[in-house]
Chain A
């Protein structure tokens, strides 16, 4: 009474299950290897240009390279030159860096202010025909902005803003507010309207509702929009390059082009500048990585 006949199919089932498990295991292993290979490819692909920047910046002689894959005799001379502005081209570097910061911060503040006011009026106060503003914002958001640079240069002459940081600030504010209005409008729909109504019954004015209810509750979206505007101003190149002409008014992005055009191209300084210029956005990126809302910030 061992039940042997009944066990026979069970045995073969066990064997089949083991074979299946082995096949599954093999398939999972193959998948894992493919995944790892893809990971390595992505890593190399992503880091190659960054590594190239570091490699050139660590070279001491600007235009004589040995063509090696590793920094031979690495030196921080070019970074030191950037720090002490020890080159004809780097003379105004920190002043220009300051200009870049002013540009970014001004764009950020103005975009958040103008965008939040507009989205409050159309989303919360339900201004009649406010949808027109939303459509204008959407259209501007879609616009490839580089095609506007030629009329922009002429218009800034008309406004008397040529070679002024304000010209660039107003351009970036104009390009960043549409996204701000769209995002803040969407996010504002999550806040219950009853809050505003209660405040209104208690006699709050629209300005008080905006300042004491809307702005505090919208903080995450305001941060996202502000970072977006800051990075837009920091990462764009064309408008700064075209609208700023004197060395004192230039930003780092505009000044780098002088390097690009000059005969004696000190590439190691250029790459050191590029790396230093990349640090603020990277710092922001790592600082805000924890907030999921940052995932949606465009640049």
Chain B
């Protein structure tokens, strides 16, 4: 079983692979071509006006080299870079690993597991705004739920979460995992369901324990989906604004900001839009290699999202 070439669609009913279909027997001609072009005009117009133009404009805004010299002379910016790396690397990887484990748990066919799945997916349906405000309140108030729980268990006053940089960063990452774990669990759940049962039966007959089955059957078969999901989630997490904006709000003293909130604050709170654009564009050296890797991966393996 060559795991590298295994094509596992994330979406079970849609067959993967890039099989060529027979072409439209009557090649596009005359008025049909005109119609086809007319059909893609709205999409192209939206793309040019609201994606390509902003991208180019943003690159132009952040194109002066002096901006980057200014950014790198700012210790806050260096902190922000470190935070972004921590947030993305720890957040995405822990979340993906947990999603893999939890999706295995949800493969059970018991009624209470199925009922739990419905509840478990709630964070994904709830607006980020609502839940992150709630989490912020749990952390910031001395009467927050976490403090109440803490004192109910230990009898002492709870810790002040948003006073230490480490705790505030950990809170951001945990809130991020809370919000996005359900979605990726669902993705892995459908990937697990696409694995034929016979493979597990064969492994069980050969005497493989359930841990061995996970390591030698499930994981190789899901490696592709796992990698694509991780890369995609990494890209999205670079642009994750609401988590940090609401949960820690950069507290204490702007030491827990990530690039998205830092650029936002420079541009709209302190009134340096070009510096803000430069800060956000400075994520590109990290983003572009991942985009290229992911594009190649998607074209080669046909994993679909």
Q: How far is the CA of A47 from the CA of B145 in the complex (A)?
A: 12
| Nearest CB in chain B: distance from A29 CB, A | 15
- Helix, strand, loop or mixed for chain B's interface? helix
Number of interface residues of B (CB under 8 A): 104
Stretch at the interface among B50-58, B74-82, B200-208, B219-227: B50-58
| Nearest CB in chain A: distance from B200 CB, A | 16
Q: Which residue of A lies closest to B130 (CB)?
A: A274
Q: How far is the CA of A280 from the CA of B55 in the complex (A)?
A: 33
Complex contacts, B13 vs chain A, CB 8 Å: 190, 292
Complex contacts, B55 vs chain A, CB 8 Å: 143, 148, 151
Complex contacts, A139 vs chain B, CB 8 Å: 291, 295
Q: How far is the CA of A295 from the CA of B14 in the complex (A)?
A: 13
Q: How far is the CA of A182 from the CA of B285 in the complex (A)?
A: 26
A17 at interface (Cβ–Cβ under 8 A)?
Answer: no
Contact B149 A296 (CB under 8 A): no
Provide the B252-273 mask, 1 if CB < 8 A to any CB of A, else 0. 0000000110011001100001
Contact A154 B57 (CB under 8 A): yes
Q: How far is the CA of A38 from the CA of B291 in the complex (A)?
A: 36
Contact B127 A277 (CB under 8 A): yes
Contact A114 B14 (CB under 8 A): no
Contact B46 A150 (CB under 8 A): no
Provide the A162-199 mask, 1 if CB < 8 A to any CB of B, else 0. 00000000110110010001100011011001001100
Q: How far is the CA of A267 from the CA of B37 in the complex (A)?
A: 53
Provide the B140-180 mask, 1 if CB < 8 A to any CB of A, else 0. 01111101110110000000000000000000000000100
One of A52, A145, A173, A289 near B134 (C-beta < 8 A): A52
**Which residues of chain A in 31-50 are interfacial with respect to chain B, using CB atoms and an 8 Å cutoff?**
35, 38-39, 42-43, 45-50
Contact B40 A122 (CB under 8 A): yes
**Which residues of chain B in 1-16 are interfacial with respect to chain A, using CB atoms and an 8 Å cutoff?**
10-11, 13-15
Contact A148 B40 (CB under 8 A): no
Q: How far is the CA of A237 from the CA of B241 in the complex (A)?
A: 9
B72 at interface (Cβ–Cβ under 8 A)?
Answer: no
Contact A46 B36 (CB under 8 A): no
One of B54, B141, B242 near A152 (C-beta < 8 A): B54
Complex contacts, B68 vs chain A, CB 8 Å: none
Complex contacts, B273 vs chain A, CB 8 Å: 150, 153-154
Contact A45 B145 (CB under 8 A): no
Given contacts A69-B152, A151-B277, contact A42 B102 (CB under 8 A): yes
Contact A46 B24 (CB under 8 A): no
Provide the B240-255 mask, 1 if CB < 8 A to any CB of A, else 0. 1110011000000000
Provide the A211-241 mask, 1 if CB < 8 A to any CB of B, else 0. 0000000000000000000010011111000
Q: Which residue of A lies closest to B124 (CB)?
A: A299
Stretch at the interface among A8-16, A76-84, A87-95, A200-208: A200-208
B197 at interface (Cβ–Cβ under 8 A)?
Answer: no
One of B21, B50, B276 near A174 (C-beta < 8 A): B50
Given contacts A138-B295, A197-B24, A260-B133, contact A147 B138 (CB under 8 A): no
Residues of A within 8 A of B (CB): 35, 38-39, 42-43, 45-53, 55-56, 65-69, 113-115, 117-118, 120-122, 124-128, 130, 133, 135-136, 138-155, 159, 170-171, 173-174, 177, 181-182, 186-187, 189-190, 193, 196-197, 200, 205-207, 210, 231, 234-238, 242, 253, 256, 260, 267, 270-271, 274-275, 277-278, 281-282, 284-285, 289, 292, 295-296, 298-299
Given contacts A114-B43, A130-B40, A253-B127, 19 further A-B contacts (CB under 8 A): A35-B108, A42-B116, A46-B122, A49-B138, A50-B131, A52-B135, A52-B137, A52-B138, A121-B36, A143-B51, A144-B238, A146-B240, A147-B283, A159-B49, A173-B50, A206-B35, A253-B129, A274-B130, A292-B13
